[in-house]
Amino acid sequence: MEVKKAEFVCSNTRVDKLPAPTLPEYAFIGRSNVGKSSLINAMTNKKGLAKTSQKPGKTQLINHFIIDDTWYLVDLPGYGFAKASKTSRNEWEKFIRRYLTHRDNLQCVFVLVDSRHEPQKIDLDFCYWLGECGLPFMLVFTKADKQSAVKSDANVAKFKKSLLQWFEEVPQIFLTSAEKKMGHEPILDTIAEVNGRFVPPELDGNGQFQPRF
């Protein structure tokens, strides 16, 4: 699938202010600075659509983008930002976890992991939490241009092995580079496939979507 149109819709901290859950939605999450916003820009071929920065902690809100008028891509703030205060980390916990567990149209969470590093506890813990919540997720390894393919593959294999201590099978995995525009097509094809199966949540008697919370 090729993206033809990508537009910013809104930024939010509150789940009840998000766009109506009428279209399939996909969220990008991962450590601060892992490359979530860069990947969104590379996938949509739109530099500057999502704001990026060399400094971690750039994305602070739940940012909705509408793609080809048919699905939402969501850029989330990163976790594990060392310089964030405890209060702001707690706030992150609250509003992101609330978003992830209450968004009816969320089809899949893409967990971004830096392919340069060996498995990190914070990423594994987050995957376990998604599993506990029964939230479908896939893994996207980023920044593959920064080291050899052998090194990336070794880190991916170690991550898989760590996950298999808890999960019976590993989720789908993608290896990407926003810099080299590599690995985006398979993600978009997977999204297209899931989009084809999307059934919007039902309206209640008043023509409103009935929130799950």
Ligand X SMILES: Nc1nc2c(ncn2[C@@H]2O[C@H](COP(=O)(O)OP(=O)(O)OP(=O)(O)O)[C@@H](O)[C@H]2O)c(=O)[nH]1
Q: Which stretch binds Mg ion (CB under 5 A): 12-20, 35-43, 98-106, 199-207?
A: 35-43
Work out whether 184 is an interface residue with ligand X (CB under 6 A). Answer: no
Which residues partner with 29 through β-bridges?
111
Number of residues that bind ligand X (CB under 6 A): 23
| Cα 165 from Cα 19, distance rounded (Å) | 37
Among 33, 41, 44, 59, binds Mg ion (CB under 5 A): 59
The three-state secondary structure class of 55 is: coil
Nearest partner of 35 among 115, 108, 136, judged by Cα: 115
Q: Which stretch binds ligand X (CB under 6 A): 35-43, 85-93, 118-126, 185-193?
A: 35-43
Of 55-94, binders to ligand X (CB under 6 A) are: 56-59, 77-78
142 binds, among ligand X, Mg ion, none (CB under 5 to 8 A by kind): ligand X
| Cα 49 from Cα 40, distance rounded (Å) | 8
Beta strands in 2-132 (DSSP E): 6-12, 25-30, 62-67, 71-75, 106-114
Instruction: By CB under 6 A, name the binding residues for ligand X.
Output: 32-38, 52-54, 56-59, 77-78, 142-143, 145-146, 177-179
